[in-house]
A and B are shown apart, each in its own frame.
Chain A
C-alpha cells in the first residue's frame, strides 16, 4: 500500500520561495503521476501541477510562471517549489498520486500548512 509523507517549511515571508518534499513509501515510483494541490484556509482545492517519474511536468496555468515540480526517483521523492510567495499563497499543501488516464487523485499526503506573513 502506497503511503505519502510530506514535509517543508511552514512559515515564509513575502517574496521567499516555498519548498516542500513528498516521500513515497510502499510502492513503485514508476506507477503513478505525482501531484501537488493546495487549499487556502476555509476554501476549496486547487490543482498546482503534476510530474512523471521521468520528470515531465504539467502546471496549473495560473501558477506556471512561479512553480516547479521535480522528482528524485533514487529517493522515491518529488518536490514543489513556488517562487515569490505572497499572502495569497497561504494554504494547506497536499501531495497526492494522480491517475493520468482517468484524472483522479487516489492517495494523499497528510498536508502541510504554509503561512506567508511578514
Chain B
C-alpha cells in the first residue's frame, strides 16, 4: 500500500497537456518542498524528472513541470509526445521527525 496517492492512469493526445496529482499529508508533502517525480519506461530503471517540487535536472525538457499546493503535488507534461508514455511516480520526505522517502503508487500515462 503506497503512502502517497496518485491516480492509477492518465491519458492525452499528442500535443496536449496532462497533469498528474500526488496527495499526501500535512506532515510529509505539506511540510517540505522535497517532492520529486520519476519517469519509468517499460523494463527500465526510474529516471529523475523533477526535484524540490519544481526543479528539473540537466537534460530534462521544460515540457515537464512541477508544482505544489498544500498537501498535493502535481506533475504537468505539456506538448505530449508518444515517447512520454510511461509510469510516473512521485516521492516525498517521509515526514516531520522521521527520515527516508515515501512514494506514490504510480500513474500510467497513455498517449492516445
Contacts and interface: CB of A to CB of B under 8 A. Distances in A.
Interface string B49-69: 001100001000000000000
Query: Range of interface residues on chain A?
Result: 20 to 34
Q: Is the interface on chain B under 10, 10 to 19, 20 to 34, or 35 or more residues?
A: 20 to 34
Interface string A32-72: 00000000000111110110000000111100000000000
Contacts of B46: 45, 94, 105, 108
30 contacts: A43-B105, A44-B2, A44-B89, A44-B104, A44-B105, A45-B46, A45-B89, A45-B103, A45-B106, A46-B103, A47-B102, A47-B103, A58-B100, A94-B46, A102-B52, A103-B34, A103-B36, A103-B91, A103-B93, A103-B101, A104-B34, A104-B36, A104-B51, A104-B52, A105-B46, A105-B48, A106-B51, A108-B45, A108-B46, A110-B45
Interface of A: prevailing SS: strand
Interface in B64-83: none
